[in-house]
Structure 1
Amino acid sequence: MQVEIGSNFWTYSLCEGRERKLWWESEEYSKIFLKSGRNAFKAICNYISADKRKVLFPAYHCGTESEPWYESDWEVEYYPIENNFTVDANKLKQCIIKAKPAVLVIQSYYGFDALNDECNALLQECRNKGIIIIEDITQSILSDIRHQAVDYYIASLRKFFAIPDGGVLISRQPIAIRKIAQGDNNIPLNAMQAYSLKREYFETKNKGIKEEFRAAYVVLNELISVNDNNYAMSDVSLKIWNSFDFTYIAQKRRENYRTLSEGLAKIDYLAITRTFDNDTTVPLFLPVLVKNNTLRQELQAFLAEKDIYCPIIWKKSPRIVDCPKETSAIYERILCFPIDQRYDKEDMLRIFNTVEKWNV
């Protein structure tokens, strides 16, 4: 059982090569590795040439995805995401008719497919009409989800793994992105320091090291957040990326999700909106909707006192003025439980037992 659950990754490998390749790693696709998903969005929004610079985004998203579009003088509008993390095809269609965007961004959440067959048919219609479709596959990167009517795929690689930096821009056609600066060597240096300190904390349980590794992660995130240029992914990160055992990672995440969801389903003030119906999904977190925002904040604080860190993904961007009510419910109530490959059944039972003992 781990001394702490959640927060930043620290375990990584520098083994040579891996057997399993993801679908977009084939020669069929062109790939540009950058330092972050934000960098990839920055690159593509400046690469696209469109007379009408308007993009339609899912209302539930990380603000770092849409911010480069604002910075590049694109007009950004939003379509609703249902509170079970799916897209309603009819609502999306109405938003497309109203906005008439040049670009449509789609995304699946927490490893589960957000789009049904009706949505996929709508995407094909959009593409036939010349609308450029971009899919953020960050949260579904290890799931067997592939939406064909997509022009560009984007992912941040740091959400699933201990990797210093990393984002990727993918297309079936060659992508000519200009002015990509060399990867920043300070990023892997700071990352290795942060990983080493956190590993030492886990091994020694020395609380004095805790503030040290937290400060190191702050520096690392600041380096990655620098956005004045497009930067290539560092060589160290590429080597780590090519060493991951995706089969093991997928198995552990599925097992942990199932174990924890079975327990948390008994808690009446928590709603679990997505469950497994097959083994094609590899979850990022176990997202729940807490009964209300006040309860969510109190539960999150209580768990943190027990060294269980459950993030709120995400806080609503101030750019979204009129957020659809179904999507607002996510922002106001979501809490995410860690279920990743660092943990096992004992850790999941520890989370459930801690939640169960909390006096609401």
Structure 2
Amino acid sequence: MKEYGGYFELENFRGNEYHRQAIRLNSARNSIVYLMRAKKINKLYIPYFLCNSVKNILIKHNLIFEEYHIDKNLRPILENKLKNNEYVLIVNYFDQLQDIEIQEFKGAYNNVIVDNTQSFFRKELQGIDSFNSCRKFFGVPDGSYLYTDSVLTENLERDKSYERMIHLLGRFEVDASSFHSFFSKNDAKISDIPLKKMSKLTKNLLSGIDYDFAFEQRMNNFNLFFHAFEKENVLNLTPGKFCYPLYIENGEYIRKKLIEKKIYVPILWPNIQYSEGASELEKSFAKDIVNLPCDHRYDENDVKFIIEEVKRCIN
């Protein structure tokens, strides 16, 4: 029964989502689960250079997988010819893959799934399955947009996200360090939530974002970092909008010094450094890529401050 009157709930935002035509799910991991079921995937090729959560969810669902390596340009090294119902997960690291490259992978392997968790603004490419992660780009508790022409016939329950909001509200009104433990707990919860539709709360929050501003600010900030570290960075980069990945000797030391100054530059996948199968290059990526924040929370002065601190560490 509908309720009337009483106290107000969170305001209902009237803006538009960026991915209005996509399937709305509750997490990027569950976008993989959706595709596994909808496409009846027998085997999935995944990169070694990836967080354990993807591997864990494949094990949980009894899916056969095989790992492959990436090269110095973060592109897959995969020579296997895929059989029917075998797919390859290609990760768009740091928003660096161009559409033409993705289409070439489609031509080479046919059964391709693109992991755009680091490329929120990448929209659908015709005939290619892809998904992203909302919380990697914006202050929302969960959520993923999936592009696919395979429809799962199951009647999915809608998720609820209100219990995953405390770290977002805490950082908004206090600071990040005081609520980092809640952020970590939320990460753990996301790993275990079953496949569901995106929550009403997450969808509503995503309807209140100025996407044009976020896109432009991220691009501008990335370009400031790009010009500042073009000579130092070993990676050959094109403009991106996730973070600025500075791959540099003694990156691990630089990261520690920046964190001491409350410039939080996480290791995206710390498990890689201890992986038996990962190559030395992949372990070096994990250890020495310094992921500098270029998102829309920061303006030119903020970025210049970070650049100065990094150069001080280098020198």
- Whole-Å Cα distance in 2 between the matches of residues 353 and 319 of structure 1? 32
Cα distance in 2 for partners of 1:74, 1:174 equals 19
Mean alpha-carbon deviation: is it higher for 160-169 or for 311-320? Answer: 311-320
- The answer to whether residue 107 in structure 2 is matched with residue 133 in structure 1 is no
Equivalent residue pairs, number:
306
Residue 160 of structure 1: CA displacement?
0.7
**5+ unaligned residues in a row in structure 1: which ranges?**
1-12, 203-208, 277-281
CA gap of 1:220–1:328, structure 2 versus 1, over 3 A, is: closer
State the match for 2:172 in structure 1: 199
Letter in 2 for 1:200: E
Matched, 1:251 2:216: yes
Which of residues 153, 158, 166 in structure 2 aligns to 1:182? Answer: 158
Matched, 1:217 2:206: no
Partner of 2:93: helix, strand, or coil? coil
Task: Determine the C-alpha separation between the residues in 2 that align with 1:157 and 1:63.
Answer: 19
- Find the partner of 2:74 among 85, 102, 116: 85
User: Counterpart of 2:80?
Assistant: 95
- SS of the residue aligned with 2:147? strand
Q: Within the alignment, does 1:110 sit opposite 2:94 as a pair?
A: yes
Q: Distance in 1 between matches of 2:99 and 2:280?
A: 19
Q: 2:7 aligns to what?
A: none
Instruction: Name the structure 2 match of 1:289.
Output: 247
Match for 1:248: what amino acid?
A: F
Conserved? CA contact 1:108–1:115, under 8 Å: no
- 3-state SS of paired residue (1:231): coil
Percent of counterpart pairs with the same letter?
Answer: 20
Pairing 1:46-57 to 2, within 5 Å after superposition: 46-50=37-41, 53-57=42-46
Query: Which among 261, 282, 294 is matched to residue 306 of structure 1?
Result: 261
Match for residue 120 of structure 1 among 95, 103, 108: 103
Q: Which has the higher contact order (CA 8 A, sep 6+)?
A: 1
Match of 1:33 in 2: 24
TM-score by length of 1: 0.74
User: CA offset at residue 326 of structure 1?
Assistant: 4.3
Residue identity matched to 2:170: L
CA 1:309/1:165 → structure 2, altered by over 3 Å: closer, same or farther? same
Find 2:148's aligned residue among 157, 171, 181.
171
Determine whether 1:351 maps to 2:293. no
Residues in 1 aligned to 2:122 and 2:71: alpha-carbon distance in whole angstroms: 20
Post-superposition offset of 1:252: 0.2
Residue 273 (1) aligns with residue 273 (2):
no
* 1:80 alignment partner, SS class: strand
